[in-house]
Amino acid sequence: MADLSTTYMGIALKNPVTVAACSLSCKVENILRAEEAGAGALVIRSLFEEQIRHETGELDAALAKGSESYAEALSYFPAISHGEAKEHLFWVGRTREATKMPLIASLNAVSPGNWVAYAKQLADTGVDGLELNYYRVEADMTRDGLSAELQMLDIVASVRASVKLPIAVKLSPFYTSVGNVIQKLDEIGVNGAVMFNRFLQPEIDPDKETVLHEMTYSTSAEMRVPLRWIGLLYGKHSLDMAANTGIMEARDVVKALLAGATVVQVASTLFRNGIGHLTSLRDGLNAWMDSKSYASIEDFRGKLSQQGFEGDSVMFERAQYLDFLMSRQRWVKA
Ligand SMILES: Cc1cc2nc3c(=O)[nH]c(=O)nc-3n(C[C@H](O)[C@H](O)[C@H](O)COP(=O)(O)O)c2cc1C
C-alpha cells in the first residue's frame, strides 16, 4: 500500500482527494459519510454575501436586478431566507465539533468590509483553512481587466492581514495571465489556489423564451483547462494548487497530480455517483501508484508539468496547437 498522505497549505491530509465546496456539506451526516469514505479534507459550502445582507436587512436592488453573484447564490441556496450568516457560522462550528477531518470554510462576499469581518468569524469556528470564492462576472464594460484584478488582490490582502489561517483563493480561469495573478497572490502570502471555479452558465429555453439559471454538473472534458494551467505553473510559485472542475474518476486524480496539483477537489462526481465514490477515487489512486511502484505522492507529483522546461512556453503552446490543427487537416476528406 502506497503512502497517500500529503499536506495542503500546511494542513496534513491522509490523501489528496478532497470534497469541493458544495451543498453536500449542508448536512453533518454527509460530512461524516465523506470522512468515512476516505475524503482527505472537505471544503464547506460558501457563506454568501447575500446571506449576510439578508440578515442585516440589506438585501436590496442587487437582488431585484438578478446580478450574476445572486444568480449563483440562488442556485446553490434556493431557500436563501433560511440560510443567514449567523446560522451558517453556528453550523460550521457544529460541523467542526462533529468531525476530525480537515475542514476548510468558504466565503463569497462582495463588499470589502464583509470579506474581512466574515473571514474572521469563520476562522473563529476552528476550521483549518479558508477558501475565498471570489466569484465575480465583470459585466461592466467601462472597467478594465487590471482594475478588476487589483480589486480582487486588495480584498485578498485585507483578509490575509486579518486572519492567521491558511488561505486559498478559488480562481476564475478567465484571467489574461493566470500565472501573473498567482504570482501576486503569492506575494500577498496566500497559501493555495483552487483552479478553477466553475461559473454558472445561463441557458436559454427557446420554446418558453426564458433564461434558465440551472446548475449543471461538469464533465471530464472540462478538466483540461485546470490540467493545462497547473502543468504550466507547477514549481514556479509557492502556492499549493487544488485541481477543481471535471475530476470524475481515479485516473483524473492521477492526471491532476502528474500535472502538479497538491490536491483535487470534487463535487459533480459525488452528486452523480454518491459520496461513497470518494473511496474509489482514493483506492484507484493507490492502485495506480502500486502498479507504477510509487511509494509516495512526491515520487510523481508534477512529473508531467512544465517545470524544468527551458524553452519558451508561449512558443511551446503554439507548437502543440499547430500540430493539432495540421493533423486535423490531414484527417478530413474533401
Ligand atoms: C450543487 C453545487 C453547489 C455548489 N456550491 C458551491 C459553494 O457553495 N461554493 C463554491 O465555492 N462552489 C460551489 N460549487 C462549485 C464546486 O465547488 C466546484 O467548484 C464545481 O462544481 C466544479 O467541480 P466539479 O467539476 O467537481 O463539480 C457548487 C457546485 C455544485 C454542483
Calpha distance 308→325 (Å, rounded): 27
What's the pLDDT score for residue 322? 67
286 lines ligand 1 (CB under 6 A): no
What's the pLDDT score for residue 67? 46
225 lines ligand 1 (CB under 6 A): no
| Cβ count near 203 (within 10 Å) | 11
What's the pLDDT score for residue 66? 45
3-state SS of 235-299? Answer: CCCCCEEEEECCCCCHHHHHHHHHHCCCEEEECHHHHHHCCCHHHHHHHHHHHHHHHCCCCEHHH
Residue 206 lies in a domain: yes
Q: Which of 42, 118, 198 to mutate to test the pocket of ligand 1 (most atoms within 8 A of CB)?
A: 198
Q: How confident is the model over 1-29, as a mean pLDDT?
A: 96
Closest CA to 199 of 245, 241, 230, 132: 245
AA letter at 297: I
172 lines ligand 1 (CB under 6 A): no
Closest CA to 82 of 33, 24, 26, 20: 26
Residue 269 lies in a domain: yes
Ranges 202-206, 234-238, 290-294: which has the least confidence: 202-206
Q: How far is CA 180 from the centre of its chain?
A: 18
What's the pLDDT score for residue 62? 46
Q: What digits encode the pLDDT tens for the residues 256-289?
A: 999 999 999 999 999 999 999 999 999 999 999 9
Q: Which residues face 194 on adjacent strands?
A: 170, 242
Geometric angle at alpha carbon 290, from 288 and 291, rounded to 5°: 65
pTM of the model: 0.90
| CATH code of the domain in which 303 resides | 3.20.20.70
Calpha distance 133→49 (Å, rounded): 11
Residue 110 lies in a domain: yes
Calpha distance 69→54 (Å, rounded): 14
Q: Which of 17, 19, 22, 92 to mutate to test the pocket of ligand 1 (most atoms within 8 A of CB)?
A: 22
197-201, Cβ contacts within 8 angstroms, sequence gap of 24 or more = 197/133, 197/134, 197/135, 197/170, 197/171, 197/172, 197/173, 197/244, 197/245, 198/222, 198/244, 198/245, 199/68, 199/72, 199/135, 199/137, 199/172, 200/68, 200/71, 200/72, 200/75
273 lines ligand 1 (CB under 6 A): no
Q: What digits encode the pLDDT tens for the residues 303-321?
A: 999 887 777 777 767 767 6
What's the pLDDT score for residue 24? 94
Q: How far is the CA of 22 from the centre of ligand 1 (A)?
A: 5
Closest CA to 267 of 14, 46, 36, 2: 46
The answer to whether 102 and 41 have CB atoms below 8 angstroms apart is yes
As a whole-number percent, the residues of the chain with pLDDT over 90 amount to 72
The answer to whether 47 and 95 have CB atoms below 8 angstroms apart is no
Closest CA to 31 of 85, 91, 76, 95: 95
In the block, residue with C-alpha cell 461592466: 140
In the block, residue with C-alpha cell 447564490: 73
Residue 139 lies in a domain: yes
Structural domain span for residue 217 = 6-307
Closest CA to 132 of 151, 144, 145, 119: 119
Average pLDDT, the chain: 89
Q: How far is the CA of 138 from the centre of ligand 1 (A)?
A: 20
Q: How far is the CA of 160 from the centre of ligand 1 (A)?
A: 23
Residue 315 lies in a domain: no
Q: Which of 76, 107, 270 to mutate to test the pocket of ligand 1 (most atoms within 8 A of CB)?
A: 76
What's the pLDDT score for residue 334? 60
Residue 330 lies in a domain: no
- Residue 259 C-alpha cell reads as 500535472
Confidence check: pLDDT of 227 > 90 = yes
Confidence check: pLDDT of 244 > 80 = yes
What's the pLDDT score for residue 74? 46
Total count of domains within the chain? 1
Residue 331 lies in a domain: no
Ranges 50-59, 122-131, 145-154, 312-321: which has the least confidence: 50-59
What's the pLDDT score for residue 194? 98
For 197, residues 6+ apart whose C-beta sits below 8 A from its C-beta are 133, 134, 135, 170, 171, 172, 173, 244, 245
- Residue 247 C-alpha cell reads as 475530476
Q: How confident is the model over 123-128, as a mean pLDDT?
A: 97
Residue 95 lies in a domain: yes
18 lines ligand 1 (CB under 6 A): no
Q: How far is the CA of 45 from the centre of ligand 1 (A)?
A: 8
Q: What digits encode the pLDDT tens for the residues 37-72?
A: 999 999 999 998 878 776 666 544 444 444 444 445
